[in-house]
Structure 1
Amino acid sequence: MTVVNRPPLTSDERTQLTGWLDLQRSFVRMKCEGLSEADAHRKTLSTSPLMTMAGLVAHLRWNEYSWFHLNMLGTPDTGQTPWTEGGHPDAEMFVDDVPLAQLLDEYDEERARSNAIIAGLSLDAVEQGPYAANGEAASLRYVLCHMIEETARHLGHLDIIRELLDGQTSYDRLPAPEVS
């Protein structure tokens, strides 16, 4: 298990924003460690049946793609996303037939692509995607803050679902701190 360290206390804004986002992202795989396929896809919340461990990993992956590729770069969706005209708004969470390991690998690959986009843009760069045409374009700075919030919020969901599945919380699985 690899958990990213917190960013340095006195680092610059970009290092803080990307550091906190990478830290939150690193917990996703940790929260899924040791789950069976059945548990990864188990529906524990009757009022939110799409909110499974696997469904949330897929949601986080496609959020990365949407914010950084579609919105920041303005890359057109040519059918590569799970969303379709008139389709289910949470189509990315329909992953009952996709192995958790595959979803986690796809999430890691998407994170790497997002990081490359982030590295190539100024924090003041604004969205080039569909929202830009409406005069509602957000800056990369805003998008990074939003992605920290979005990832952390869904980590809470992952933690609750994991606890419902097997009683473990994410912090039960954190490596012990080094003693000096």
Structure 2
Amino acid sequence: MPAHVPPIADEREGLLAYLAQQRQALRATAHGLTEQQARTAPTASALSIGGLIKHAARCEAGWTDLVLQRQRGPQRAADEDDSAEFALTERETLAGVLDAYAAAARETDAVVAAVADLGQAVPVPRGLPWFPAEVENWSVRWVLLHLIEETSRHGGHADIIRETIDGATLFPLLAAAERWPDPWFEPWQPPAAD
């Protein structure tokens, strides 16, 4: 996908296109990373690119579950604490979390395509302090806007982490990952081995 969303025909197509663009930007931050680099948390926070992608996949799957009013069961191990949500375990790989993220994206896109009205009510979960107690329902439209917000926020985190790891920035990474023809940006290349 180019760096800009193509022209859109309607609201649904626009929301899905902007979500896809933000997903691609987040995925691009992982382009060319080793497993060790994907686990690295080189900034003041404990965030890593692999952990951010893992979180984005789980988050998107959770919101799709809310739209469907489906109980999938725990998205993480019973002994996993909140900070592990943003880190890869020894059993997890970058390829695995990228695959999970792609699967979550496909499901979200399919669910939204099947919704007749983006104003369809999505019940607000109860008993969680970060959800407003005074709001009964969101809409599918609200969920999509929230996913765009959440994905872009974590994409920004990943941009900073990636630049800290090896100096790579988004447009050269996109040019390399997508093989842009005649790019304005020199495509990112792995550093030469010493």
Match of 2:50 in 1: 54
1:142 is matched by which residue type in structure 2? W
Q: How does 1:49-88 map to 2 (within 5 A)?
A: 49=46, 51-69=47-65, 71-79=66-74, 81-82=75-76, 88=81
2:167 is matched by which residue type in structure 1? G
Deviation of residue 26 (structure 1)?
1.5
Match of 1:165 in 2: 165
2:50 is matched by which residue type in structure 1? A
> What 5-or-longer segments of structure 1 have no aligned partner?
none
Match of 1:23 in 2: 21
- SS of 1:138's equivalent in the other structure is strand
Whether 1:92 and 2:85 are equivalent positions in the alignment is yes
Q: How does 1:1-180 map to 2 (within 5 A)?
A: 3=2, 6-8=5-7, 11-46=9-44, 48-49=45-46, 51-69=47-65, 71-79=66-74, 81-82=75-76, 88-97=81-90, 98-121=92-115, 122-128=117-123, 130-131=125-126, 135-175=135-175, 176=180
How many residue pairs get matched? 171
TM-score normalised by the chain length of structure 1: 0.84
- Structure 1 runs of 4+ with >6 Å offset: none
Residue-by-residue CA offset, 1:39-96 (whole Å, 9 max, x unaligned):
10012124x21x1011000010011011111x111111423x1175x96334422423
- Change in 2 beyond 3 A, CA 1:22/1:4: farther
2:62 is matched by which residue type in structure 1? S
1:130 is matched by which residue type in structure 2? P
Q: How well do the aligned residues superpose, as a CA RMSD in angstroms?
A: 2.5
Match of 2:186 in 1: none
Deviation of residue 129 (structure 1)?
6.1
TM-score normalised by the chain length of structure 2: 0.78
Deviation of residue 114 (structure 1)?
1.1
1:114 is matched by which residue type in structure 2? T
Q: 2:43–2:164: 8 Å Cα contact kept in structure 1?
A: no
> What 5-or-longer segments of structure 2 have no aligned partner?
184-194
- Change in 2 beyond 3 A, CA 1:108/1:56: same
